[in-house]
């Protein structure tokens, strides 16, 4: 019998000296979808949180395990930026893997153009053998450069001055090769910084957040940005309708319905439809096979 392969991160976490890549999401329930929607719209108590903090909260509540360990905020924050992008994309695909249409305007002729994609199909670059850190030779000596993670993103998110943010990021991810004194990052030259950036880019995992599109009017090639996180909270209206349908039919409470695994909820909705002899539902979400 074929067993389902354990999903793997494109980067991974070093735990007890080994690079571990496994992860597992919790069963997606309506309650989780509601939480994601609140996080996505920055509602309630999250309004003061920065974007990386909200992403951390979303990953913490939806992940069951990371790197063979129980998921926690600490582990979610230790994940590299690329792994976090990857998990958001996988989560979005779990919630909605239909074709998504985005309308953008051509950068050249400004005519509107429609671009389609599926979350599952956004290309992912795997990390290199050097990941998560590698030695970089700079004018102030040999330094170890570590792939930036969620904690780094959270630390610099509140800084408005970009130079200050870059300096703080460099001081967090760079260390002396021999574990000696913290390198003086303010003495790094522009060339050093470029060199470090190139090393980070080549070893780190990454998920494409841009779609290539050819303008139908002038044939110019465009890059259209995709905001995966923005899509995570889009299913609330459909979810409310589903709760209404199930509550009317089975007389279950809202919390009972919201705690059903998503797949079970959708199966019940199909049963109701079949009983009514409808060919299609108006809930707005397809049942994934």
User: DSSP string spanning 180-228?
Assistant: -SPP-GGG--HHHHHHHHHHHHHHS-EE--EEEEE-TTT--EEEEE--H
CB 97 within 8 A of CB 118: yes
CB 282 within 8 A of CB 241: yes
User: Tokens 């060339």 map to which residue?
Assistant: 191
CB 240 within 8 A of CB 254: no
* Closest approach of Zn ion to the CB of residue 117, in Å: 19
CB 174 within 8 A of CB 197: no
Tell me the β-bridge partners of 145.
134, 174
Of 59, 71, 215, 269, the one binding Zn ion (CB under 5 A) is 215
CB 149 within 8 A of CB 81: yes
* Closest approach of Zn ion to the CB of residue 121, in Å: 24
Q: Report the 10 Å Cβ neighbour count for 15.
A: 14
**C-beta of 217 vs 271, nearer to Zn ion:** 217
**C-beta of 103 vs 289, nearer to Zn ion:** 103
Tokens of 265: 């909820």
**C-beta of 173 vs 224, nearer to Zn ion:** 224
Decide: is 278 part of the binding site for Zn ion (CB under 5 A): no
Element (H, E) at 174: strand 174-176
* Closest approach of Zn ion to the CB of residue 102, in Å: 16
Decide: is 217 part of the binding site for Zn ion (CB under 5 A): yes
* Closest approach of Zn ion to the CB of residue 224, in Å: 12
Taking CB under 5 A as the binding criterion, the range among 27-35, 106-114, 202-210, 234-242 that sits at the site for Zn ion is 106-114
* Closest approach of Zn ion to the CB of residue 100, in Å: 21
Decide: is 106 part of the binding site for Zn ion (CB under 5 A): yes
Decide: is 220 part of the binding site for Zn ion (CB under 5 A): yes
Of 26, 98, 108, 210, the one binding Zn ion (CB under 5 A) is 108
* Closest approach of Zn ion to the CB of residue 103, in Å: 13
Tell me the β-bridge partners of 207.
124
List CB contacts of 64: < 8 A, sequence separation 6 or more. 24, 25, 26, 70, 71
**C-beta of 169 vs 218, nearer to Zn ion:** 218
Tokens of 107: 């950068």
* Closest approach of Zn ion to the CB of residue 122, in Å: 23
The dihedrals phi and psi of 25, each to the nearest 5 degrees, come to -85, 155
Taking CB under 5 A as the binding criterion, the range among 2-10, 50-58, 101-109, 273-281 that sits at the site for Zn ion is 101-109
**C-beta of 215 vs 257, nearer to Zn ion:** 215
* Closest approach of Zn ion to the CB of residue 288, in Å: 35
Taking CB under 5 A as the binding criterion, the range among 23-31, 103-111, 193-201, 271-279 that sits at the site for Zn ion is 103-111
Of 49, 61, 218, 247, the one binding Zn ion (CB under 5 A) is 218
For Zn ion, the binding residues (CB under 5 A) are 106, 108-109, 215, 217-218, 220
């Amino acid at each position: 019998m074929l067993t389902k392969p354990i999903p793997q991160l494109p980067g991974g976490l070093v735990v007890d000296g080994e690079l571990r890549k496994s992860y597992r999401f919790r069963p997606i329930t309506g309650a989780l979808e509601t939480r994601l929607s609140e996080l996505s719209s920055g509602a309630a108590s999250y309004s003061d949180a920065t974007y990386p903090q909200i992403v951390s909260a979303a990953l913490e509540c939806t992940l069951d395990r990371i790197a063979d360990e129980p998921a926690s905020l600490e582990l979610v924050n230790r994940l590299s930026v690329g792994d976090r992008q990857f998990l958001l994309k996988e989560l979005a695909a779990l919630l909605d893997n239909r074709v998504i249409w985005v309308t953008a305007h051509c950068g050249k002729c400004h005519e509107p153009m429609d671009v389609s994609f599926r979350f599952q199909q956004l290309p992912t670059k795997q990390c290199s053998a050097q990941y998560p850190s590698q030695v970089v030779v700079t004018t102030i000596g040999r330094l170890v450069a570590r792939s930036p993670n969620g904690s780094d993103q959270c630390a610099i998110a509140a800084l408005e001055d970009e130079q200050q943010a870059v300096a703080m990021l460099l001081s967090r991810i760079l260390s002396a090769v021999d574990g000696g004194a913290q390198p003086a990052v303010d003495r790094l030259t522009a060339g050093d910084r470029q060199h470090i950036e190139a090393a980070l880019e080549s070893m780190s995992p990454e998920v494409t957040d841009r779609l290539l599109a050819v303008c139908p009017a002038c044939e110019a090639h465009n890059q259209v940005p995709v905001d995966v996180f923005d899509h995570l909270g889009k299913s609330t209206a459909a979810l409310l309708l589903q709760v209404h349908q199930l509550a009317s039919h089975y007389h279950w409470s809202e919390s009972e319905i919201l705690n059903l695994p998503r797949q079970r909820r959708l199966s019940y909705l199909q049963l109701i439809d079949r009983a009514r002899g409808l060919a299609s539902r108006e809930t707005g979400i397809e049942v994934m096979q």
